[in-house]
């Protein structure tokens, strides 16, 4: 079961019965774009992947499916009828390739009347390595059996019905027999591939919030609960929206204040969040820590933006009229620089990202068009890695054995064809190095035509 691949990667996504999908298999390459009309299931496919990624990182089932609009019941295929006990559910799975060879993971999830994993199967090398089944609906557990190949062929034990059994195997399997070691290798491969995901959705309206008063003058409670009016975007990524951010474990938009209102760990500052509203602080960090990658970022932005681009950097923010008033109202002071710093409350809020326009001077990146701003953020994601992004990869596995999967729903949103093509070309170049994979959805599949290394899957409604 050994292959030349040293970095586990999801190479196939199976949507056996999930939302609008039935018996759908999606082969995933280093850069895969999903295209299709409205209702074809592009976003649903990314949601399915994210559910698997969250389960792979150890999250409980309820938290893994909470980002699906309509809740778990919305994951059930339309028209699916309940059985005699009133149960309905959905099924999904994936194939992960890596050092242990191709390993298949398939799940059956009951959405109604109670949310629970009722069946799980892990297979590889012609063996069923793990299987679970719900044998007693009154118990919050499933009966699990995993491959042993020792004195007894399998080991049986109950596992919780709200967790991915595969992610729990390293805590249950001793690894004494060849069969147990096979199980551990396959489970590790699946978990490493799934949790190394970063869900990215740069939102220009949130990235510009310092200029529009987002967050400045709000208290922490209002930000956690979404704020109000125009400030809602920034607040969502510090509370509700934070859940979308880190994919398999980063939870994206939270601040480093312990845990968010749902109990999720919040990432440390200096790491890019899902909606990229803290881009200035991260840009300042990357420009210092990796000048070569920063130069590549500048070159990419130069190709995508109108007007000259000689450089990108973060500079101290000067209090404007709006910011000074917000600071004054929050601190009771005059709104000078000290008051602004107190109102902002963290280092990155005291920075502003600017584009060096050469003879034209500097221009804040907030004044870029929406497409340009999204391009900049997504390019920064592609050119960095888990240490710079608000995610939680497998820390016990060397980075040389991991691949980060960037997931972007609407990757070409707000962009013209030239910008989208440049971004996908950058994604292909980075994926060729073996450390990054990209799964996204696009409206204009023509932008990827002829690009080597970019695979487009056309979905039908």
Q: What is the DSSP letter of 389?
A: B
Supply 207's token pair.
């990235």
pLDDT-wise least confident of 114-123, 147-156, 163-172, 290-299: 147-156
pLDDT for the residue numbered 20: 95
CA 262 from chain centre, in angstroms, equals 18
Interhelix angle 178-195/42-56, nearest 10 degrees:
130
User: Does position 314 have pLDDT exceeding 70, yes or no?
Assistant: yes
User: Does position 185 have pLDDT exceeding 70, yes or no?
Assistant: yes
**Across 186-190, average pLDDT:** 96
pLDDT for the residue numbered 33: 98
Backbone φ and ψ for 227, nearest 5 degrees, come out as: 65, -150
Q: Does domain 9-196 have CATH number 3.30.1560?
A: no
**Across 401-425, average pLDDT:** 94
Angle value at C-alpha 400, between 107 and 299, nearest 5 degrees: 105
**Virtual torsion, Cα 132, 112, 196, 445, nearest 10 deg:** 120
CA distances from 179 to 1, 146, 174 (A): 13, 9, 10
Domain locations along the chain: 9-196, 199-392
User: What is the β-pairing status of strands 436-441 and 31-35?
Assistant: parallel
Q: Which of 45, 19, 21 is nearest to 34 (CA)?
A: 45
pLDDT for the residue numbered 452: 95
**Virtual torsion, Cα 147, 148, 153, 157, nearest 10 deg:** -70
Angle value at C-alpha 316, between 311 and 317, nearest 5 degrees: 105
pLDDT for the residue numbered 97: 96
CA distances from 89 to 139, 314, 320, 419 (A): 18, 49, 53, 40
If residue 108 lies in a helix (H) or strand (E), which one and from where to where?
Answer: strand 103-112
């Amino acid at each position: 079961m050994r292959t030349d691949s040293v970095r586990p990667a999801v190479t196939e996504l199976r949507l056996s019965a999930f939302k609008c999908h039935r018996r759908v298999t999606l082969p995933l390459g280093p850069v895969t774009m999903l295209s299709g009309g409205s209702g074809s299931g592009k976003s649903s496919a990314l949601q399915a992947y994210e559910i698997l990624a969250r389960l792979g990182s150890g999250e409980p089932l309820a938290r893994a499916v909470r980002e699906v609009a309509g809740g778990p019941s919305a994951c059930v295929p339309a028209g699916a009828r309940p059985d005699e006990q009133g149960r309905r559910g959905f099924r999904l799975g994936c194939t992960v390739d890596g050092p242990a060879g191709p390993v298949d993971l398939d799940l059956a999830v009951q959405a109604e009347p109670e949310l629970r994993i009722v069946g799980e199967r892990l297979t590889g090398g012609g063996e069923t390595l793990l299987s679970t089944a719900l044998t007693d609906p009154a118990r919050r557990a499933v009966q699990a059996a995993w491959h042993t190949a020792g004195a007894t062929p399998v080991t049986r034990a109950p596992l919780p019905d709200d967790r991915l059994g595969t992610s729990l195997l390293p805590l249950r399997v001793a690894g004494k027999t060849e069969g147990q070691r096979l199980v551990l290798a396959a489970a590790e491969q699946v978990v490493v591939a799934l949790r190394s995901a970063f869900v990215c959705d740069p939102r220009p309206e949130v990235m510009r919030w310092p200029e529009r008063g987002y967050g400045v003058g709000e208290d922490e409670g209002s930000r956690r609960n979404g704020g109000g009016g125009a400030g809602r975007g920034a607040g969502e990524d510090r509370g509700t929206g934070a859940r979308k951010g880190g994919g398999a474990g980063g939870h994206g938009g939270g601040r480093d204040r312990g845990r968010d209102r749902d109990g999720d760990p919040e990432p440390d500052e200096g790491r890019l969040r899902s909606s990229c509203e803290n881009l200035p602080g991260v840009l300042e960090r990357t420009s210092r820590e990796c000048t070569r990658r920063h130069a590549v970022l500048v070159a990419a932005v130069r190709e995508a933006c109108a007007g000259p681009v000689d450089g990108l950097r973060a500079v101290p923010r000067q209090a404007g009229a709006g910011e000074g008033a917000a600071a004054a109202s929050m601190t009771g002071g005059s709104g000078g620089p000290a008051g602004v710093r107190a109102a902002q409350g963290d280092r990155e809020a005291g920075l502003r990202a600017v584009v060096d326009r050469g003879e034209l001077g500097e221009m804040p990146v907030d004044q870029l068009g929406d497409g340009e701003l999204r391009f900049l953020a997504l390019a920064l994601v592609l050119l960095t890695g888990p240490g710079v992004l608000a995610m939680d990869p497998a820390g016990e596995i060397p980075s040389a054995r991991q691949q980060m999967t960037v997931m972007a729903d609407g990757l070409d949103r707000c962009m013209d064809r030239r910008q989208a093509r440049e971004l996908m070309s950058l994604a292909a170049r980075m994926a060729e190095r073996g450390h990054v994979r990209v799964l996204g959805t696009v409206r204009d599949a023509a932008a990827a035509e002829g690009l080597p290394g970019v695979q487009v899957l056309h979905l039908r409604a």
